[in-house]
């Protein structure tokens, strides 16, 4: 594959500079990484504030009000405070692993977002094997949580990380099967091509396309990814009422801030994957009326993508503040006894539909 | 889980009943005194096999304030305000029990209006306490919105207490012979308005938590307390009634004017967390019924009998018991000469109910331990005194 | 982070470095003040008000403090909501040390400020949390209302905004302040402040008097409550079996059992007793277990629920000449039983004589022994432990006889009349 593609306007610009010895690749890589890091950090910080406001709305409160207009700088203050806070390492902790662990979940979020097409010419890298790459990168996040809980030398942390390991590895399978289903029906693993297969009207999005199955896959993806993200109601790994703060019980200051931001970074990544695979990515919701469609296409693709991601994230937040939490064994039973068989059935049906040519409406 | 008697292990203090016959290694975990869901400073030491609870040993005393010793150096009225701080979610009930004992000792009668005020305030507090239960139970299940909505409904009643007693939490409102002051003129209207609001909130709670599939899965068949065991452990209140024992002091030994009102006592069948939860939800509705009847026939006249210059109890032992939201709270006074008690003892319902924690939790997961503890609805300063 | 604390030492000597440090100070303090995450730590009543302050009506999240952290590693602030007692001291110290700096403490409520209602005649309450850990803001009240908590929070924010990296927060030593009566201290402070204000106040008074010659100060009048009737108490409504029937059933099986302070009672006089005061039997120590078993198993009594168990110490204070009256029975162990079927209560007490122990160890020695009731009612477990903890009565056959409420290292038995404790201060008035 060509590392620098026309899908990336930064890449175009860098290539235009004509740098020698493959420096263009290096510059492109660094610029792309910085962009993604900025997007994740700014997005996560904003999302923390949004989450607090949404929860306040659901709970008939006001939420942060004092810092900046409507408290919009609240999470900036939080992150800044965590940055300048003392870092305590518990006695008996494995220092190397202890400091390494918080970086991994955030890295996973960066890696996933690196291949998501934000717009027609906005994608840091477009590997041919985009979907398998997503599945692989999703597994890195759990590693951070596992080793973080283990290295903390705390029984609550250990319980949290073991719970999280069991849960995320299980739900990883469901997510993978659903992504395979999309690959199967769309016939591509290239994420940009995957978006382009949904060109046309709203009804050409994969969520509506395979009769019934697309919608089912979308809903199943939302459930599984909520569990994979460790978000309430499936947040048994950091269930505050049960095991204090779970795997990050012993993390203070920066380490905790990175776990905290990684949760929201992964939220953006997960919503981005859902938007790309099911909701047409950067494509506007065209309805088939030429005049309207022209207006819709005039809006940049990035805006459409952001809107879809925002809607999905609001959905995730609504889940979180409404449902009670299942128990750890119930959660595993849900995955292995219900979601996985259904997903496998979905995959077989998807194969059948593809073979019979029933995919397009 | 198969349990065999402990033989060779050196266990921490308190663990001595059984050892599981598994080949896996057990471990101990210390929950509390600072833990978000032990409802204060209760400390539980858990013996775990993986995530399964093998044994729970509660350690008390992290808020032991020596109230019973201090009471021996204080007058009866000074003691009265200490009872507010024991079970702060049912401070009116605690005052009521002490006042009952003093009234019995000194032969003080309570005028009709005074009894009505007591019943209305008691029942309001029962609702308030159960709302806190709902809030904590929801939060312990992980539905954090419940805790905020529960407290939102509680604030309506707190406002009323603020208007009546001048305080939000530790009211110290009752005196032997009635209450310390009269209620506001529009009291019954305010009570009715609050009842309407609380009723609407209860319907909302049913939609939010009671009907939720996950809640049912988390509570049904969890923490089963058989009828015989509940009685033998000395449980009272919703924990006892959840196991199907028809015992409510307001019905069995009515104090005040409780025999004038129509209400029913909800009973559980299975004795699990779900039953205890439903009973408390239903008790709130029954309390609303009592409040409605009491407001309809709220009498005029004096609100208390003549104030005594000093309370000197006749020598002997005196006893007063009331049904609080958590069970039977009783005060037992040994009076000798003078204004100060020789000995005052309070029976705290939470302490007796806590004894049921270990039998209920064995074999369940840590997450269930939390919800079972929430359905006991303990107030730690009430246990520790 | 430790690095930022070194900033002033490095940057201040540079030209213009002071302004940079000032700017960093402003930003850092702004972040710290606006993001105070409290620890979920509440011991008693104040905790409910602390919870109420984060609920919809009051909503502490407006100040950015709704993120109650369950683990001290991620918290910035301990709100000491509720009384701190001796057993809690070590826990609180540990929690404080587990908080990463900068850490702040708000003492909420009278109990944490000074001991509050528990300051006198009390052996276990710590007289002021600032004797254990440093406290930044004090909020009086019992309990303080949520508005007061917010006021305290805003005061703390003001305090934080005045901090500087040049004076780092690091304070690793825990202070054990000597006990100064906080009321005296407050009165002294108030007096000095009044003295400072006096000249200005006198001037203002003189000016006011000159401007308003007709002014008459308001005089408070005591409003007496309306006279209330002196009502006699109506006869109590008893529950369950009538006293006479209970008495006959018991006396038929145990003729040696008598009523407390009414040894010669017969059926007729028992019937005349007030029906809402439970019968109180005295059982000889030898028949204690048999009597308890009888009450539990007799189907007509149906006393199935173990209601309560406690004790009374009858030791009288020494006479003015120092003479003590020897007691035949030092303790009464009182057992209260309840019938869930009928609703009646029956009390019985067993007099316990004092064991022979040397005089010097009398206060700390276990003085009496009775058989345990745990085999009959498992619910007796905690209550017997409490009686052991408070009175030093040993229950033979109890599976786990340890102190229930006081720490294991506690000396003496608090509810004994001869109990003394260094922390117990007699009420001076």
Q: pLDDT 10s per residue in chain B (385 long)? A: 445 555 555 676 766 655 555 566 777 888 878 887 777 788 888 888 878 888 888 888 888 888 888 888 888 888 888 888 888 888 899 999 999 899 888 888 888 888 899 999 999 999 999 999 999 888 888 888 888 888 989 999 999 998 888 888 888 888 888 888 888 888 889 999 999 999 999 998 888 888 888 888 888 888 888 888 888 888 898 999 988 888 888 888 888 888 888 889 998 888 888 999 999 999 999 999 999 999 998 888 888 888 877 788 888 888 888 999 988 999 999 988 888 888 899 888 988 899 888 888 888 888 888 889 989 888 888 888 8
C222 in a domain, yes or no?
Answer: no
* Contact at CB, A66 and C64, closer than 8 angstroms: yes
The pLDDT value recorded for residue B130 is: 92
C45 lies in the same domain as C142: yes
Q: What is the pLDDT of residues B81-100, one digit of tens each?
A: 888 888 888 889 999 999 98
Co-location of C130 and C248 in the same domain: no
Closest CA to B89 of B156, B138, B143, B158: B158
A83 in contact with chain C, both atoms CB, cutoff 8 A? yes
Give how far B366 is from chain A: nearest CA, Å: 7
Residues of chain B with Cβ-Cβ distance to A61 below 8 Å are 148
- Considering only CB atoms, A52 lies closest to which of C27, C61, C76, namely C61
> Does any CB of chain A come closer than 8 Å to the CB of residue C76?
yes
**CB atoms C52 and B33 under 8 Å:** no
In CATH terms, B67-382 corresponds, of 1.10.645.10, 3.40.50.1240, 3.30.2270.10, 1.10.630.10, to 1.10.645.10
Find out whether B169 and C144 touch, Cβ atoms under 8 Å.
no
pLDDT of residue C425: 79
Domain housing A100 = 88-356
Q: Is the residue at C199 inside a domain?
A: no
Output b/e per residue, B205-225; b: 16+ Cβ within 10 A.
beebbbebebbebbbeebbbb
- Closest-CA residue of chain A to B215: A324
pLDDT surpasses 80 at A148: yes
Q: Is residue C202 part of a domain?
A: no
C169, part of any domain: no
C247 and C368 co-located in one domain: yes
Contact assignment for B306 to C230 by CB distance below 8 Å: yes
Cross-chain CB nearest to A85 (options C30, C63, C100)? C100
pLDDT tens, A185-208?
888 888 888 888 887 777 778 877
Chain B hits for C142, CB-CB cut-off 8 Å, are 170
Cβ contacts (< 8 Å) between B357 and chain C: which residues? none
Instruction: Write the DSSP string, C236-265.
Output: P---SS-HHHHHHHHHHH-TT-EETTBTT-
pLDDT for position A5: 47
Domain identity same for C263 and C156: no
C61:A81 CB<8 A: no
pLDDT in tens, A250-289: 888 888 888 888 888 888 888 988 888 888 888 888 777 7
Q: What are phi and psi of B68, to 5 degrees?
A: -65, -35
**Chain B residue nearest residue C84, CA to CA:** B63
**Would you tell me how many other CB atoms lie within 10 Å of the CB of residue B330?**
26
Domain with C51, as residue range(s), is: 4-161
Helices B187-205/B273-296 angle, 10° precision: 150
The residue of chain A with its CA nearest to that of C67 is A52
Task: Classify residue B49 by its DSSP letter.
Answer: E
Of C2, C32, C71, the CB nearest to A81: C32
DSSP-assigned letters across all residues of A232-265: TTS-GGG-HHHHTTGGGTT--HHHHHHHHHHHHH
Which subunits sit against C, judged by 3+ Cβ pairs under 8 A?
Answer: A, B
Average pLDDT over residues A30-50: 83
CB contact under 8 A, A250 and C71: yes
Q: Would the CB atoms of C43 and B62 count as touching at under 8 Å?
A: yes
Report the alpha-carbon distance of residue A194 to residue B339 in Å, rounded: 87
Answer yes or no: is A285 within a domain: yes
Residues of C in contact with B334 (CB under 8 A): 312
Chain A touching partners, 3 or more CB pairs below 8 A: B, C
Hey, are the CB atoms on B40 and C310 less than 8 Å from each other?
A: no
Residues of chain C found within 8 Å of residue A76, distances taken between Cβ atoms: 31
Residue of chain A with shortest Cα separation from B207: A322
Q: CB distance C56–A66 less than 8 Å?
A: no
Minimum distance, in Å, between the CA of residue C409 and any CA atom of chain B: 13
| Tens of pLDDT, residues C145-161 | 899 999 999 989 888 88
Q: Does B332 touch chain C (CB under 8 A)?
A: yes
Q: How many CB atoms lie within 10 A of CB C94?
A: 11
C324 near A CB under 8 A: no
Tell whether B21 lies on the interface with C, counting CB pairs under 8 A. no
Rounded CA separation A95/A98 (Å): 5
pLDDT at C178: 56
CATH number for position C51? 3.40.50.12280
- Torsional sign, CA C414, C419, C422, C423: positive
Q: Give how many domains chain A has, as a whole number.
A: 1
Indicate whether C20 and C137 sit together in one domain.
yes
Contacts of A60 (CB under 8 A, 6+ apart): B148, B149, B152, C56
- In terms of domains, do C121 and C248 share one? no
| Minimal C-alpha gap between C65 and chain A (Å) | 8
The ranges assigned to domains in chain B are 67-382
Which tokens sit at C231? 């009502």
CA distance C197 to chain B (A): 33
Q: Which CATH number characterizes residue C263's domain?
A: 3.30.460.80
Q: Domain count for chain C, please give it.
A: 2
Q: Are residues C157 and C247 in the same domain?
A: no
Cβ <8 Å between C125 and B249 = no
């Amino acid at each position: 594959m060509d590392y620098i593609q026309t899908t990336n306007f930064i890449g175009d610009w860098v290539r235009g500079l004509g740098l020698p010895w493959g420096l263009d690749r290096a510059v492109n890589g660094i610029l792309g990484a910085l962009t993604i890091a900025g997007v994740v950090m700014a997005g996560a910080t904003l999302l923390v504030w949004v989450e607090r406001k949404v929860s306040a709305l659901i709970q008939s409160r006001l939420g942060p009000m004092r810092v900046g207009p409507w408290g919009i700088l609240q999470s900036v203050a939080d992150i800044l405070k965590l940055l300048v806070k003392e870092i305590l390492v518990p006695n008996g902790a494995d220092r190397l692993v202890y400091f390494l662990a918080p970086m991994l979940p955030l890295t996973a979020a960066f890696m996933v977002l690196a291949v998501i097409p934000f717009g027609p010419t906005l994608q840091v890298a477009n590997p041919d094997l985009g979907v398998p790459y997503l599945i692989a990168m999703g597994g890195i996040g759990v590693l951070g949580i596992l080793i973080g809980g283990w290295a903390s030398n705390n029984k609550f942390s250990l319980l949290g990380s073991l719970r999280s390991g069991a849960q995320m590895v299980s739900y990883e399978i469901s997510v993978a099967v659903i992504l395979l289903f999309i690959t199967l029906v769309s016939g591509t693993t290239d994420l940009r091509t995957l978006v382009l297969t949904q060109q046309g009207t709203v009804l050409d999005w994969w969520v509506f396309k395979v009769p019934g199955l697309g919608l089912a896959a979308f809903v199943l993806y939302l459930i599984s990814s909520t569990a994979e993200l460790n978000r309430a109601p499936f947040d048994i790994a950091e269930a505050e009422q049960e095991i204090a703060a779970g795997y990050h019980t012993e993390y203070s200051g920066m380490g905790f801030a990175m776990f905290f931001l990684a949760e929201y970074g992964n939220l953006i990544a997960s919503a981005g994957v859902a938007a790309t695979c099911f909701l047409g990515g950067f494509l506007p919701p065209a309805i088939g009326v030429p005049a309207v469609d022209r207006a819709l296409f005039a809006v940049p693709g990035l805006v459409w993508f952001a809107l879809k991601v925002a809607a999905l994230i609001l959905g995730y937040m609504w889940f979180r503040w409404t449902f009670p939490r299942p128990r750890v064994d119930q959660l595993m039973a849900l995955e292995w006894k219900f979601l996985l068989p259904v997903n496998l059935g979905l995959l077989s049906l998807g194969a059948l539909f593809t073979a019979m040519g029933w995919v397009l409406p | 889980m198969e349990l065999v008697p402990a033989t060779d292990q050196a266990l921490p203090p308190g663990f001595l009943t059984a050892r599981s016959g598994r080949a896996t290694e057990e471990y101990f975990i210390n929950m509390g005194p600072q833990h978000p869901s032990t409802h204060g400073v209760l400390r539980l030491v858990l013996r775990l096999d993986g995530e399964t609870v093998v044994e729970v040993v509660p350690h008390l005393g992290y808020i032991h304030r020596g109230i019973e010793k201090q009471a021996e150096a204080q007058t009866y009225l000074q003691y009265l305000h200490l009872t507010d701080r024991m079970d702060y979610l049912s401070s009116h009930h605690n005052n009521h029990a002490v006042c009952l004992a003093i009234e019995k000792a000194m032969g003080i009668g309570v005028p009709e209006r005074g009894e009505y005020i007591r019943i209305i305030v008691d029942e309001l507090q029962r609702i308030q306490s159960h709302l806190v239960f709902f809030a904590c139970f929801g939060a312990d299940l992980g539905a954090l919105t419940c805790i905020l909505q529960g407290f939102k409904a509680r604030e309506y009643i707190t406002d009323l207490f603020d208007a009546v007693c001048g305080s939000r939490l530790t009211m110290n409102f009752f005196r032997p012979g009635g209450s310390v002051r009269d209620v506001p003129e529009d009291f019954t209207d305010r009570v009715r308005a609050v009842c309407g609001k609380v009723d609407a909130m209860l319907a909302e709670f049913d939609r939010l938590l009671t009907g939720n599939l996950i809640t049912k899965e988390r509570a049904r068949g969890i923490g089963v307390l058989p009828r015989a065991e509940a009685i033998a452990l000395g449980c009272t209140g919703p924990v006892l009634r959840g196991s199907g024992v028809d015992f409510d002091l307001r019905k069995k030994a009515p104090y005040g004017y409780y025999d004038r009102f129509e209400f029913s006592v909800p009973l559980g069948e299975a004795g699990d967390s779900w039953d205890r939860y439903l009973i408390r939800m239903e008790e709130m509705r029954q309390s609303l019924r009592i409040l409605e009847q009491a407001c309809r026939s709220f009498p005029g006249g004096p609100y208390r009998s003549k104030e005594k210059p000093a309370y000197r109890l006749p020598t002997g032992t005196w006893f007063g018991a009331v049904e609080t939201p958590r069970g039977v709270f009783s005060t037992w006074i040994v009076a000798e000469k003078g204004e100060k008690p020789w000995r005052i003892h309070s029976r705290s319902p939470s302490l007796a109910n806590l004894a049921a924690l270990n039998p209920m939790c064995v074999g369940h997961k840590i997450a269930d331990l939390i919800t079972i503890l929430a359905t006991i609805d303990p107030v730690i300063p009430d246990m520790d005194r | 982070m430790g690095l930022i604390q070194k900033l002033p030492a490095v940057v201040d000597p540079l030209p213009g470095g002071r302004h940079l440090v000032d700017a960093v100070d402003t930003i850092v303090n702004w972040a710290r003040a606006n993001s105070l995450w409290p620890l979920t730590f509440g011991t008693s009543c104040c905790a409910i008000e602390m919870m109420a302050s984060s609920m919809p009506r009051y909503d502490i999240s407006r100040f950015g403090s709704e993120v109650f952290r369950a683990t001290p590693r991620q918290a910035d602030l301990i709100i000491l909501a509720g009384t701190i007692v001796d057993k809690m001291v070590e826990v609180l110290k540990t929690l404080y040390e587990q908080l990463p700096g900068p850490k702040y403490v708000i003492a909420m409520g009278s109990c944490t400020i000074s001991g509050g209602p528990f300051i006198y005649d009390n052996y276990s309450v710590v007289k002021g949390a600032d004797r254990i850990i440093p406290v930044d803001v004090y909020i009086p009240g019992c309990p303080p209302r949520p508005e007061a908590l917010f006021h305290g929070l805003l005061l703390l924010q003001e305090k934080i905004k005045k901090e500087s990296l040049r004076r780092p927060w690091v304070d690793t030593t825990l202070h054990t302040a000597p006990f100064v009566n906080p009321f005296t201290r407050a009165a002294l402070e108030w007096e000095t402040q009044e003295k400072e204000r006096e000249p200005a106040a006198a001037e203002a008074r003189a000016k006011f008097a000159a401007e308003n010659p007709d002014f008459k100060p308001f005089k408070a009048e005591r409003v007496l409550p309306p006279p209330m009737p002196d009502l006699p108490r109506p006869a109590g409504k008893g529950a369950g079996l009538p006293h006479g029937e209970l008495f006959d059933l018991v006396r038929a099986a145990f003729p040696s059992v008598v009523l407390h302070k009414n040894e010669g009672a017969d059926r007729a006089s028992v019937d005349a007793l007030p029906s809402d005061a439970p019968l109180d039997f005295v059982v000889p120590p030898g028949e204690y277990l048999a009597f308890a078993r009888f009450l539990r198993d007799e189907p007509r009594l149906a006393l199935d629920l173990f209601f309560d168990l406690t004790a009374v110490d009858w030791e009288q204070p020494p006479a003015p000449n120092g003479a003590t009256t020897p007691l035949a029975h030092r303790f009464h162990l009182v057992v209260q039983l309840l019938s869930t079927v009928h609703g009646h209560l029956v009390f019985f007490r067993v007099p316990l004589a004092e064991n022979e122990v040397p005089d010097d160890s009398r206060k700390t020695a276990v003085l009496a022994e009775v058989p345990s009731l745990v085999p009959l009612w498992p619910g007796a477990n905690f209550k017997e432990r409490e009686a052991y903890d408070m009175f030093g009565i040993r229950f033979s056959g109890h599976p786990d006889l340890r102190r229930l409420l006081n720490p294991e290292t506690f000396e003496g038995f608090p509810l004994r009349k001869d109990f003394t404790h260094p922390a117990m201060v007699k009420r001076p008035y």
